[in-house]
Chains A and B, each alone.
Chain A
Amino acid sequence: MTRSVEVAFAVARKDLTSEWRTRELVPALGQFVVLALVIANFGFQIDSQNAATIAPGVLWLALVFAGLVAFGRAFAAEREQASLEAMLLTPASPVAIFAGKALAAALLLIACEVVLLPALALLFGTPLNVALVAAVLLATVGMAALGCLFAAMVARVRAREVLLPLLTLPLWIPFIIAGGQAVQVAMGASGSYNQAVALLIDFDILFVVLTSLAARFVLDD
């Protein structure tokens, strides 16, 4: 167990160090989410009346597409460099390797959210509070687990850019529904925040366990 945790942290540290030095992904994702918010700001004719209704939808759209790029790169880069096989030909557990990749991809998406959430508050005039941040972070956990599993699956096929959204988006819908409700309530709409967050936690546990079980078969074919 300790060994697996060490491996997972080593993999995550390696991915984050590579990203820090190359700055390939996070700046591009940051620009993407800001541009998405700017376009939505003009496209939806936002005012103080409708901001709290429209902003959560815009937030999840930006997050979902940024996530697809972040998780897709997590395994595509390994395949291109032929380094995934080198990792898998060690005695390290494939589940630990997967967990490390998912952890790094989730942290990269969180870095993107650090830009996204203040930009949303600035452009849409919506509140930025702990409840909102917690809901987004909880959704990120499950989305990262699912996104990385499918990214690992499609990394070896040619049409991976098309396949990844087709496989991932349907399974992200529960996070978007529960997360959307939690964010709406955090922004001032009526509803049960606790119920939505409890659902997010349930989905996180369910999908983290399922993807961990599946990762072994996906990676160590």
Chain B
Amino acid sequence: MSTILAHQLTQRFGPDLALDAVDLVLDKGEHLAVLGENGAGKTTLLRILATAARPTSGQLELFGLDAMRERRRLRALIGFVAHAPGLYPALSAAENLEFFGSLHGVGRARVAETLELVGLADVANRPAGRLSRGEQQRLAIGRAVLHDPRLLILDEPDASLDSGGADLLARVMHGRSAVLATHDHALANRLCQRTEVLRSGRSLGAGTRLRVVQ
């Protein structure tokens, strides 16, 4: 059973075609990089895969379940890092994770473990609004793996991360399936076995690891 099985995913926003009949397969434990210029449809595709948006047409199965009908069940299996960190600035880093943990039914021990994993144990009691942009991104990544999801969907998570960001991403992606949208080909090469290139909402085809031409 594939982790992701997408067939002819299409997304229209009024007259604009954001995603044009994209097919996608991701096997268990596999890491896929989605590459493309701004406006290529990466975020639209990832939001659909994360069940944050419904496609205009096409079929999507996640873990063998219909993603349109079983959204709540699937959300327990998916971790999503969106463009915006989506944190509560008045709550501390730990309180943010405790809150989302309570929505997932996850205990406090896992919160401490996650803070350690994303390197925020030292600033656990600092309000999220006073964390640096990179620390906020680490916290958003922590929230995405808090419930130990089987599929991780990461929309340009490296945008605000420091030099240790790639190691962090490697740590959180380890042992689970992942889809990573990025502009950084070297990062995609390091973390993913396969790539999917999008242009103007269309898939230009999948490939194995990229070759960086000097």
Contact = CB atoms under 8 A, between A and B. Distances in A.
B89 A81 contact: yes
Contacts of A3: 105
A18 B91 contact: yes
B212 interface: no
Contacts of B99: 10, 14
A220 B52 CA distance: 9
Contact of B104 (A85, A91, A93, A221): A91
Instruction: Classify the interface of chain A: helix, strand, loop or mixed.
Output: helix
B103 A10 contact: yes
Contacts, number: 69
Interface residues of B, number: 31
A105 to B, nearest CB: 16
Given A89-B51, A91-B73, A220-B71, A83 B103 contact: no
A17 interface: yes
B72 interface: yes
Given A14-B91, A91-B72, A220-B71, A86 B86 contact: yes
A10 B108 CA distance: 14
A86 B82 contact: yes
A121 to B, nearest CB: 33
Interface of B: 50-52, 54, 71-73, 75-76, 78, 80, 82-91, 95, 99-100, 102-105, 127, 143, 147
18 contacts: A7-B102, A14-B88, A18-B88, A81-B87, A81-B88, A82-B82, A82-B84, A82-B85, A82-B86, A83-B87, A86-B86, A86-B143, A87-B103, A90-B103, A91-B72, A91-B103, A91-B104, A221-B54
Pairs of residues from A and B, 9 with the lowest C-beta to C-beta distance, nearest first:
A82-B84, A86-B86, A10-B102, A90-B103, A92-B103, A82-B86, A21-B90, A91-B76, A18-B90
Interface of A: 3, 6-7, 10, 14, 17-18, 21-22, 81-83, 85-93, 97, 220-221
